[in-house]
Structure 1
Amino acid sequence: MNGMNEFRAGWVIVALVMLFVVGCENTAGNNGRLEPVATNANEPPVKEQPIDPASMEQRIVVGFSQLGSESDWRKANSRSIQEAAKEAGIRLLFENAEQSQEKQFEAIRGFIDKKVDVIAVSPVIESGWEPILQEAKLAGIPIILADRAVKVSDPSLYVTTIGSDFFEEGRKAGKYLLDKLRNEPGPIGIVELQGTAGSSPTIERGSGFRDIIGERGDLVIQRAEPADFTVEQGRETMRAFLQEMGSDIRVLFAHNDDMAIGAIEAIEEYGLRPGEDIVIISVDGTRKAFELMVEGKINCIVECNPLLGPILMQAVREIMEGRTLPKRIVPQESVFTEGVAEKEAANRQY
């Protein structure tokens, strides 16, 4: 009898082991992954909830040092970058340097401390960047220059520059002037409202403009002064030009729309007609400038596109994927004159 009981007990143990093995097999899917098992034959399996990628802490992080908010162009540029980062799912650390190179250096060191993936910067001026870019390179963080360039002895300190060809913008302004005044005898007096002293647009736009108007010896630049890309400085500097030279001024070349807008106010205060007594050429292409061109107060606008955000964020993704970028990326831009002003004004996004 004891033998029979032992025999039956042995079979119970075997049966329990077999049930355990079958149960384990039923909970294993492909490649041994565990699958959810129903606790009741009438209930469906419990499924795992998908993970929201936006909640993961693996997003690309970009530190961006903007040089300021001195103009409508710059504000549109900042909005474009912020919106493009959001659209791309990239975390953007945005710092406004308020026209201070020292603040830009502080921002970049802060980005290095935070171990961001990429640093982008719109430099206030061209010079003085080598040491801080070296710091970023030693930290293994790639640098993208946005809008403006820098002068360094080692080009490997940055990956690429995204922005307009300022020298070509100056040449476009010069070509328009040669055509506009081709039948007008000289000498023809020109004044120039430059941007921030030492900045790449100021240097290159001025050089490109002179490269072209030099073909005509009777086109004379009487005065050229920095006006910091602002309406207020454009107005004050133009007032000073008019007090000194008055109606001898035939042409104004303004390095951006905001300075041109300020200068127009000064010209009208003086009693001259902007766009008629003084030919006005500007750079940027803001809606306000196009509205003034519709009124006949600006003769030519050389476009400088501020909407660099999508290009910048695409460049960031290319870098993170290990791809090689060209050293210079230039957006497509145009030249606009009075004939298309009304139509184009409605198309402006800034």
Structure 2
Amino acid sequence: MTTQRSRTLAAACVLVVMAGLATAGCSKQETTDQATGDTGAGAQTVAPTTAAAGTGCTLQSYGATKLDLKNAVVGFSQSEKEANPFRIAETRSIKEEAAKLGVKKLLTTNAQSQLPKQISDIQDMLSQGAQLLIVAPLNSDGLEPALQAAAAKHVPVITIDRKLNATACKDYVAFLGSNFVEQGKRAADAMIKATGGKGKVAILLGASGNNVTTDRTKGFVDQLKAQAPGLEIVAQQTGEFARDKGQQVMEQLIQSKPDITAVYAENDEMGLGAVTALKGANKKPGKDIKIVSVDGTRNAVQALVNGEYNAVIESNPRFGPLAFATAQKFFGGEGIPENVIISDRAYDDSNAKASLGGAY
């Protein structure tokens, strides 16, 4: 379900990565992107994360020491309460992979969407002897005190799903996550297909202060401008990545922008909130109002099966295998690229029913 652009890009880049060579036509993100596309419902397919010879973040350049994860204390800092399916799947993936590898001890915390708590959570794990930190940042900014505490103890930090406005191989080893701009572009392509390239679109923005919202918006807006000038963006309001907020915003938009014909929600929870609002206004989601969102939760894919949705672009939360594989390579002396990109599939009416079991 990859786009033709991503297939072409992946095919060009993956051969270079597998050969371990420097790239001339691929960015740092593209050289670690997935080229295999979908290999089955929910499959996690990741390209090699090894950087080109002589490049990437190494133990020596980071100032860390070699570590056997089976004898290590690893800390995982989750940013948001595990009510959102993405967070549930993400935490489960980290725990399951740690158990599979036989990690000596896994410390887990949840910041409950509070930045001061995430800082103190990380500091507490360091005081409990954490030797590696896997962090899902709440925001792209604000974790400096926690990063400084980790640096003081020479504890490597790997970030997942949200990128920090910080320096790779100094403040953290690497970012593991999706290409959020590409997600926005793919969502735009799906919206163009669903609408025929014409109509009035409302964007339900994610939370402010992180790169996910910024990048998913940029990818979507830029792609519509380039490919479908007949799709006019008439509203952009934040739903804070929450279902209830998404519903509230949609209820307001139904009144203030009654001519809206499509909704782009920057996560599934907001999209599902929009479905509820539209039903409450006696409108048919997926038909009267086209809906495309990003995440890949089972509830959203089920809505697609039910005809109440038009497309879902996955944001893969299964970081456990990738996070620990990256850590093992790092502690084994390999260079780690600044951005390690996980594969994301896509769902539409052609594959949703068959792929429902792979959604999270």
TM-score by length of 2: 0.76
Q: Is 1:223 aligned to 2:223, yes or no?
A: no
The alpha carbon displacement at 1:103 in A equals 0.8
- Residue aligning to 1:172: 186
Contact 1:129 1:152 (8 Å CA) reproduced: no
Aligned partner of 1:149 among 146, 163, 177: 163
The alpha carbon displacement at 1:314 in A equals 1.7
CA distance in 1, matches of 2:70, 2:269: 41
Contact 1:159 1:325 (8 Å CA) reproduced: yes
- Residue aligning to 1:124: 138
* Cα 1:322/1:139, change in 2 over 3 Å: same
CA distance in 2, matches of 1:166, 1:92: 29
Contact 1:129 1:151 (8 Å CA) reproduced: no
CA distance in 1, matches of 2:197, 2:129: 60
Contact 1:70 1:229 (8 Å CA) reproduced: no
Deviations 1:217-260 (A, max 9, x none): 332222212212222111111111112112x1111001111111
Contact 1:229 1:259 (8 Å CA) reproduced: yes
Look up the equivalent residue of 1:107 and give its one-letter code. Answer: D
Look up the equivalent residue of 1:235 and give its one-letter code. Answer: Q
Q: Is 1:115 aligned to 2:129, yes or no?
A: yes
Percentage identity across paired residues of the two chains:
30
CA distance in 1, matches of 2:74, 2:357: 33
Look up the equivalent residue of 1:340 and give its one-letter code. Answer: N
After superposition, residues 275-314 of structure 1 pair within 5 angstroms as 275-314=286-325
The alpha carbon displacement at 1:179 in A equals 3.2
Q: Is 1:252 aligned to 2:263, yes or no?
A: yes
The alpha carbon displacement at 1:300 in A equals 0.6
- Residue aligning to 1:346: 357
Aligned partner of 1:233 among 232, 245, 254: 245
Q: Is 1:88 aligned to 2:90, yes or no?
A: no
Q: Kindly indicate whether structure 1 or structure 2 has the higher relative contact order, using CA contacts under 8 Å at least 6 residues apart.
A: 2
After superposition, residues 135-146 of structure 1 pair within 5 angstroms as 135-146=149-160
Aligned partner of 2:224 among 208, 213, 227: 213
Deviations 1:111-144 (A, max 9, x none): 2222311111111111223343233112201110
CA distance in 1, matches of 2:321, 2:70: 21
The alpha carbon displacement at 1:154 in A equals 6.0
For residue 108 of structure 1, give the secondary structure of its aligned residue in structure 2. Answer: helix
* Cα 1:155/1:223, change in 2 over 3 Å: farther
May I ask how many residue pairs the two structures share in their alignment?
Answer: 290
Look up the equivalent residue of 1:143 and give its one-letter code. Answer: V
* Cα 1:132/1:219, change in 2 over 3 Å: same
- Residue aligning to 1:30: none
For residue 263 of structure 2, give the secondary structure of its aligned residue in structure 1. Answer: strand
CA distance in 1, matches of 2:124, 2:157: 14
Deviations 1:131-182 (A, max 9, x none): 4323311220111001110112565211111111111100111122233333
Deviations 1:276-306 (A, max 9, x none): 1111001111111111101111101101111
Aligned partner of 1:330 among 341, 349, 354: 341
Look up the equivalent residue of 1:327 and give its one-letter code. Answer: E
CA distance in 1, matches of 2:167, 2:342: 26
For residue 221 of structure 1, give the secondary structure of its aligned residue in structure 2. Answer: strand
**Alignment RMSD:** 1.9
Deviations 1:51-105 (A, max 9, x none): xxxxxx9721111110112411111111111111111111211000011111111
Look up the equivalent residue of 1:318 and give its one-letter code. Answer: K
CA distance in 2, matches of 1:58, 1:92: 11
Look up the equivalent residue of 2:170 and give its one-letter code. Answer: S
TM-score by length of 1: 0.78
Rg (Cα) greater in structure: 1
CA distance in 1, matches of 2:278, 2:144: 42
For residue 239 of structure 1, give the secondary structure of its aligned residue in structure 2. Answer: helix
Contact 1:74 1:306 (8 Å CA) reproduced: yes
CA distance in 1, matches of 2:197, 2:218: 24
